[in-house]
Amino acid sequence: MQVTTAEIIYPSSDGQPMAESTIQYELIVKIKEGCESLFKDDPNVFVAADLLWYPVEGRIDISQAPDTMVIFGRPKGDRLSYIQYREDNITPQVVFEIRSHNDRQTKMNKKLSFYQRHGVEEYYLYDPERNELQGWQRIEGDLEVIEPMEGWISPRLGVRFELGEDGLEIYRPDGEKFLSYAELEADRALNRQRLQQESQRAEQESQRAEQAEKKVKQESQRAEQANQRAEQAEKKAKQADQIAQRLAMRLRELNIDPDSI
């Protein structure tokens, strides 16, 4: 008798849409790309959006697809899903969820329970319709509510959360905001405009410097010419004096007093 073990196939899709509104989609992308940018130089921080996470080996029925998750200790790279036992059994440490207008409280409670049960260290839930942000941090084995969330700094990410009139803002440790693609393009356009203005000002300063240098050269040339004229005049005066001295000497030789003439 030959015993064979069929390979377990972990689905890469749960059949659910990534987002149910443009607002939810834009926030997911902003947070995911912001976290990606934050750790772009660290090869062992993996960031994913809407990727199925299987925390238990062999259990394809136990999964969750966080809107964004950050995993420290795992290399960057493409994956069809995050199968934890194949990833050194490292649990995603930070998870973000953006609440949809269709999400019932029961669904959100189940997500919180899932993240509690499977070891998430920090869980952040934002409701764009109500502009409400909730957070949980694992303390002594349990996810405890973070209060207050306004101004809270993530221990793992180092980012700061603020709620403004326009909604959730996330600030990097260097004080820069997480930006959407549109905001990033607008910021780049503004930077290009500033660079162009700085270049124009630098060109104008260079032209003024060249004109000033040209004037200095002209003044120097005029001064040199005046100096040459003075030297020539002095030379002529010396020559005239020498001629006068020779003439006076000649007159004396003729017994004529030059001072009497």
CA–CA gap between residue 254 and residue 249 (Å, rounded): 9
- Per residue in 62-83, pLDDT (tens digit) is 999 999 999 999 999 999 999 9
Could you say which residues of the chain have pLDDT below 50? Answer: 4
Cβ atoms < 10 Å from Cβ of 127 = 17
**How is domain 22-178 classified at the CATH fold level?**
tt1808, chain A (3.90.1570)
DSSP H helical ranges for 166-180: none
pTM above 0.85, yes or no: no
pLDDT of amino acid 205: 86
Q: 54: which residues sit within 8 A by CB, 6+ positions away?
A: 10, 60, 62, 63, 81, 82, 83, 84
Q: What are the sequence ranges of the domains in the chain?
A: 22-178
CA–CA gap between residue 235 and residue 242 (Å, rounded): 11
- Per residue in 185-213, pLDDT (tens digit) is 666 666 677 777 787 788 888 888 888 88
Q: Pseudo-torsion of CA 183, 187, 192, 194, nearest 10°?
A: 150
Structural contact between residues 10 and 60, judged by C-beta atoms closer than 8 angstroms: yes
For residue 221, the surrounding DSSP H or E stretch is: helix 181-253
Buried b or exposed e, range 203-226, using 16+ CB within 10 angstroms: eeeeeeeeeeeeeeeeeeeeeeee
